[in-house]
Amino acid sequence: MIAISRGHQSRFGLSLSKPSLSFLMHARKNKEGLRQAQAKPRAGRALVLIGLTLVATPAAARDNLGMFETWGAFRDASPPRCFAIAEPVRATPKDAQWRPFASVAVWPALHQRNQLHIRLRRPVAKGSRVTLAIGRNRFPLIAGGADAWSPDARSDAAIVAAMRSADRMTVSAPGSSDTYALRGAATAIDAATLGCARR
């Protein structure tokens, strides 16, 4: 059984939470984010709201680095981090406890990059088997509650490399499965990396 260390908790930030009305109101006040959202397809508009609301940083403090197909890139000032994020290709079921997403983050202060974080649609028991499938590759993830991560930096690098050359990836957990389109993922990840490199 794999336990989640405090290092994983701090580096990925378990403060990610289900969107609330107050966060959505903050997002609507973010004129730059909404201007870019309005110029994109419906999926892009939804993704801007996810990027502005899912991570527990005030929306006003978040920079929209760009929309790339079904992926978006954002930058937070405090704590300093940049991340690429996407929703599954299928709409979240009404019975889902959480709004699922996949993200790849850069944490400059910790000298860490390409860190995968998956939000599952519902919590899983400790030690549950969660797998990320990208093409022929299968990556076991560490799960805790409704969150899942790769076990180490080496796995993060292998996952991101696989994402760059695949069309989609699927996260399988007990009782659920979510598929993400990867078109635009590489560009969003690069935008996030450059966004934090300029700081």
Q: Where are the domains of the chain?
A: 6-90+100-197
Q: How far apart are CA 167 and CA 183, in angstroms?
A: 6
Q: What is the pLDDT of residue 32?
A: 38
Q: Please state the rounded mean pLDDT for residues 114-119.
A: 95
SS3 state at 27: helix
Tens-digit pLDDT profile for residues 54-109: 544 455 578 899 999 999 999 998 888 999 999 999 877 777 788 899 999 999 88
Residue 142 scores a pLDDT above 80? yes
Q: What is the pLDDT of residue 170?
A: 97
Task: Work out the angle at residue 71's Cα, subtended by the Cα atoms of residues 44 and 51, and round it to the nearest 5 degrees.
Answer: 75
Q: How far apart are CA 57 and CA 160, in angstroms?
A: 25
Q: What is the pLDDT of residue 90?
A: 87
Q: Please state the rounded mean pLDDT for residues 9-32.
A: 34
Which CATH number describes the domain made up of 6-90+100-197?
Answer: 2.60.40.1880
Residue 20 scores a pLDDT above 90? no
CA proximity to 163, closest of 68, 25, 59: 68
Average pLDDT, the chain: 76
Q: Please state the rounded mean pLDDT for residues 28-38.
A: 36
Question: Measured between alpha carbons, how far is residue 123 from residues 38, 88, 97, 98, 170 in Å?
Answer: 33, 17, 8, 8, 17
Q: What is the pLDDT of residue 60?
A: 52
Under 8 Å between Cβ of 142 and 151: yes
Instruction: Sort strands 137-149 and 112-124 into parallel, antiparallel or unpaired.
Output: antiparallel
53 vs 144, which has greater pLDDT? 144
Q: What is the pLDDT of residue 2?
A: 34
pTM confidence score: 0.72
Q: What is the pLDDT of residue 59?
A: 52
Alpha helices in the chain, H assignment, sequence order: 6-12, 21-29, 31-38, 42-53, 153-164, 185-197
Tokens describing residue 96: 């889902």
